[in-house]
Amino acid sequence: MNLGLFDELPATPQAPEWLESGAVVLRGFALAQAAQLLQAVEAVAARAPFRHLVTPGGKRMSVAMTNCGPLGWISDRSGYRYGPTDPLTGERWPPMPEVFHALAREAAGAAGYPGFAPDACLINRYSPGTRLSLHQDRDEGNYDHPIVSVSLGIPAVFLWGGAQRTDKARRVGLLHGDVVVWGGPARLRFHGVLPLAEAAHALTGAQRINLTFRRARQEPGPVSSAGGAA
């Protein structure tokens, strides 16, 4: 990973950085809530532990995951899907903390998507060397709602691709507190994360925590598909 990518990134909240129409990086948007968010992650993980899911093809994912909210994202040999219960414990996923709800709603509104009401939060835990291959968020079925992705901990290089997996992907450096929101015309863009470099953060140690908020229920909702100019 080219660490020079992070040299010019601000460490405080900044003006929105548009990736394209409908997709934006909100630099430092979650900094003020970061400690609360991480405390909430610990509480969620105490009830629904992090685990390494298996793809339908039987491959173990390198990123550890858990969920909170009415629905959680699941992957196993049966396929990708959302479900109300944790397969590991048989219990319902932990409720989504209010600090999660508030941040997701505010970030979506700042990106031009008012009224966002997520019912699923996938929590990913990255260690140095782990990655997330290019993919689309398609399992929700209803694409009227945006995706809100919050970065906490060590830096990462986010890959922002196109409508096809083979399209050239832009490399976007993400720091602690950055939030990426995409929807509308950009809702089904391919995206991923390059392998993380060795690093440490005061709040997370040698880890990156990513919160991905989605609306997974199938019924359409009131969220607009606004977004801004690239």
pLDDT digits (tens, 9 = 90+) for 72-99: 999 999 999 999 999 999 999 999 999 9
> Which pLDDT does position 219 carry in this prediction?
59
Q: Do the domain assignments include residue 180?
A: yes
Residue 65 lies in a domain: no
Q: Is residue 77 part of a domain?
A: no
- The reported pLDDT for the residue numbered 72 is 98
Can you give the CATH number for the domain in which 116 is found? 2.60.120.590
Task: Confirm whether 201 is domain-assigned.
Answer: yes
Residue 93 within a domain:
no
Q: How many domains does the chain have?
A: 1
Which residues in the chain show pLDDT less than 70?
1-13, 218-230
**Residue showing tokens 């858990």:** 66
pLDDT of residue 213: 98
Give pLDDT, residue 9.
Answer: 59
229 found inside a domain: no
Please check whether residue 203 is in contact with residue 153, taking contact to mean a CB–CB distance below 8 angstroms.
yes
C-alpha span between 85 and 59 (Å, rounded) = 22
> What domain range includes position 207?
16-48+98-214
What pLDDT shows up at residue 14? 75
Alpha helix positions (H), the chain? 34-47, 98-110
Residue 79 lies in a domain: no
By the 8 A CB rule, do 140 and 74 touch?
no
Collapsed DSSP state (helix, strand, coil) of residue 187: coil
Interacting residues of 90 by C-beta distance below 8 A, sequence separation 6+: none
- For residue 21, being part of any structural domain is answered with yes
Residues 6+ apart with CB under 8 A from 165: 134, 190
